[in-house]
Amino acid sequence: MGSRIQNSIPEDQIVPHQLDRLAAQRYLYTKAKYILMARMILAIPIPLAWSIAVAFWPSLQVYAALWGMTVSLVDASALTALHRSWKELAAKIQEQFDCDILQMPWADVKVGSRPDLETIAEASAKYKRTHPDDSDLKDWYPPSVREIPLSLARLVCQRSNCRWDATLRRRFTTLVAATIGALIFLVMLMSLIGGLSLEKFVLAVLAPLMPTILWGIREYREQREAADRADRLKDHVQKLWDNAVKGHLSPNQLDGESRELQNVIYDHRRSSPLIFDWIYNRLRTGQEVQMNRAAKGLVEEVLRS
């Protein structure tokens, strides 16, 4: 089978205009992550500093409480909207890449209009100014999928998307929980050392720290939900794969299933919280090795059958 039926995914994904799309979505996701970083700074270290300061200078408690309320309003009214718009545009560009590479029709009702060529070109150029080497954009999907029919190769690529995403998010939630827990413990310890009463603790420490606590709870919950959703998608792809390998689904049926699955993948990308680049880059090498091994195993399963 491998010698007769092939697909062009490995070759199509490294042509210049497809690499431009990957560069553009990387740039836009990074911009959205800058907003996320700003929100974190406003929600964690600055409130922590206020809490520590008020523990020693109680007269600052009114200003600390005012800071906490102001940050919450700015985050809800401006930063969240800007963060969402850049993330959704990046998800659209990624969807365009996937539709072309995996040879699926564009879902106008689900996704809307395609991103403008000028928008992609501008974002790609800005990304390449700081990343002139595009080797990290190549082989987005495992090259080994070239050995199997397109309908099956598409499933392998979609499975890789879901598995990669779930693993990153579960590791990130562990980091978030540990960080927030340590910060809260530190602030409570400083309050005890400062001998604050319950009233002063609530007004002077808990109030300015609320953005930190709320951010931690929200981020942990959203990342866990996104990881669970990605795992469910992966399990669904695995069921489709098993049925396809056994011959229970025709290529035409697989095409329809993959398009429906891609709709859910797009919604997942558009709505899921982001993960910082430094975490992504740190885990990337190991994740890529696992992804390629898993893909090769699935390909060999088809070739043996």
> pLDDT tens digits for 167-184?
888 888 888 788 778 877
pTM of the model: 0.79
The pair of three-digit structure tokens given for residue 255, joined into one six-digit string: 């095409």
Distance of CA 106 to the CA centre of its chain: 22
Backbone torsion region of residue 222, taken as left when φ is above 0, otherwise alpha when ψ lies between -120 and 50, otherwise beta? alpha
For 256-283, what is the mean pLDDT?
Answer: 87
For 87-96, what is the mean pLDDT?
Answer: 96
Q: What is the pLDDT of residue 30?
A: 92
Task: List the single range of 115-119, 134-138, 208-212, 261-265 with lowest mean pLDDT.
Answer: 208-212
pLDDT band of 1, cuts 50, 70, 90: very low
| CA distance linking residue 267 with residue 259, whole number of Å | 13
Q: List the chain domain ranges.
A: 9-135+149-304
Q: What percent of the chain has pLDDT over 70?
A: 88
For 252-269, what is the mean pLDDT?
Answer: 93
User: Helices marked H in the chain — which ranges?
Assistant: 9-12, 16-43, 45-56, 61-74, 80-101, 108-111, 117-130, 150-194, 198-200, 207-245, 251-271, 277-304
Residue 196 above 70 pLDDT?
Answer: no
Q: What percent of the chain has pLDDT over 90?
A: 40
More confident residue, 186 or 233: 233
pLDDT band of 235, cuts 50, 70, 90: very high
